[in-house]
Structure formats: structure tokens, C-alpha cells
Amino acid sequence: MVTPAGLGEAVITAALTHGGITRTASMNVTAYAGHLWDVHGTYDLNAPITTFETAQGDLTGYRYTAVVWLGVGYFSLLPLEGTYADLRIIGPGGDTLVVADTGSIISSIDSRGRLIVKLIGNEDRTELELTVASLTPEFIDGGFGCCGHISGAFTATRRDPE
């Protein structure tokens, strides 16, 4: 068992020597503030596109936005689950493309110990995959990827309780 000294990312390395041969294994882990059940609520997602394949078009200045509702997966193995609405790509001139009106959210912990949150749209297709770096009751942030050729950083800011 490992207890974090503080918030953030760390690398845990273990080594074993047997018969004069040493083997090592390392794992990246992230320590989050608070508990998962503290983050249930409604968030505004803002995900500026910073990396893209130019063969797919110039996405300079574009960003994804959505309204995200998160809850804790009480009755499932998922750490977080929920729904989203109004997933859009907004261009630098304000032009808007609606990607999905609504969809579901699932999450998992990947092999590196990172929380992955997926926005799933029509036909069970992943619209956005969020890799969480910071998780607090006020905001969630990290990196995102989409479609195999678009990525960037995201922030989801919690709305005031209504």
C-alpha cells in the first residue's frame, strides 16, 4: 500500500534482485484532492484543440464545449458515470458544429492508474476521452483526445448548485 505525500503525479518503482539478476517495474500514479463522491454535479467543459492533423483541416482556435453531469458509480464498478448535453465544436469566429445533443459518460482506471472519463455518443462511439490530471469539487482538468487525430487540454468547471 502506498500513501501519497501530497497531490500530483508520481512514479512508483519496485526492484527485486534474485540470483544476481535485478528486475524493476515502474508505475505512474496520480493523487487527487478529496473523494470521488465530492465531484458529483454539473460542470461546463471547455477543451481547446491544440494538436491536430492538418490533413483533417485547420483547427487552430477551435474548442469543444459541453454541459456534463457527473455522479459516483454507486451500483457499478465505474468510479464516475453520468450524462452530457450540447457537445459542440466552436471555431475562432464563433461558428458552431453540434457533435451530439446528448450522450452518456463512463469511466475507468487505466493501466497507469489514471482516471479516464469517456463521453459516449450515438452508436456507442466515443466522442471525447478525458484523462484526468486534477480532480476537485470545483473543477476537473487534464488532457483529451478525439478521433485519433485531435487532442488538447480540458477544464470542466463546476456550476453553482441550483
List the CATH number of the domain containing 48: 2.40.128.120
Domain total in the chain: 1
Q: Is residue 8 part of a domain?
A: no
For residue 41, what pLDDT is reported? 87
> Cell digits for 78?
465505474
Asked, for residue 142, whether it belongs to a domain, the answer is yes
Mean pLDDT by 10 residues, the chain (162 residues): 68 88 81 66 94 88 94 66 92 91 89 87 84 85 89 92 58
- Residue range(s) defining the domain that contains residue 43: 36-158
- The pTM (predicted TM-score) of the whole model is 0.74
pLDDT at 39: 78
Q: Which pLDDT value is given to residue 37? A: 63
In a domain, 71, yes or no: yes
Task: Give dist(CA 87, CA 52) in Å, integer.
Answer: 19
Q: How far apart are the first and last CA of the chain?
A: 39
In a domain, 89, yes or no: yes
